[in-house]
Amino acid sequence: MVPTEAFIILSMVLFTMGAMGVLLQRNAILVFMSVELMLNAANLALVAFAKQWGGVDGHVFVFFVITVAAAEVAVGLALIVAIFRSKQSINIDELHLMEG
């Protein structure tokens, strides 16, 4: 029997790595992939707590998170393609669309 804490610690480590990726990566696609890693870490924590408390509601919530992640990826990658078409780059340091 693996303690719930072990899963939560793993989830926390993965989440931190994802957050670091979001802040440090310069390739917009890799930033997106880091966001997926963070979502996945949160899902792992939800499933671990669902097991501890014996309720399936956590599983349903994870199901919704996966669905929303799929929608987010579809729109996000479409945005990246559109930006690449106009700027010829997806390096986020070179994108200053919002600069005044």
Which residues sit at the interface with other proteins, rule CB under 8 A? Answer: 1-10, 12-14, 16-21, 23-27, 29-30, 32-34, 36-37, 40, 43-44, 47-48, 50-57, 59-60, 62-64, 66-75, 77-82, 84, 89-91, 93
Q: Strand locations in 1-100, DSSP E? A: none
What count of other Cβ atoms lies within 10 Å of the Cβ of residue 41? Answer: 21
**CA nearest to 43, candidates 73, 66, 19:** 66
CB of residue 57 vs other proteins: minimum separation in angstroms?
A: 6
- Of residues 89 and 100, the one with the C-beta less far from other proteins: 89
| Cβ atoms of residues 73 and 32 within 8 Å | yes
CB of residue 94 vs other proteins: minimum separation in angstroms?
A: 9
3-state SS class at 54: coil
CB of residue 97 vs other proteins: minimum separation in angstroms?
A: 14
* CA–CA separation, 77 and 3 (whole Å): 38
CB of residue 98 vs other proteins: minimum separation in angstroms?
A: 15
- Of residues 75 and 98, the one with the C-beta less far from other proteins: 75
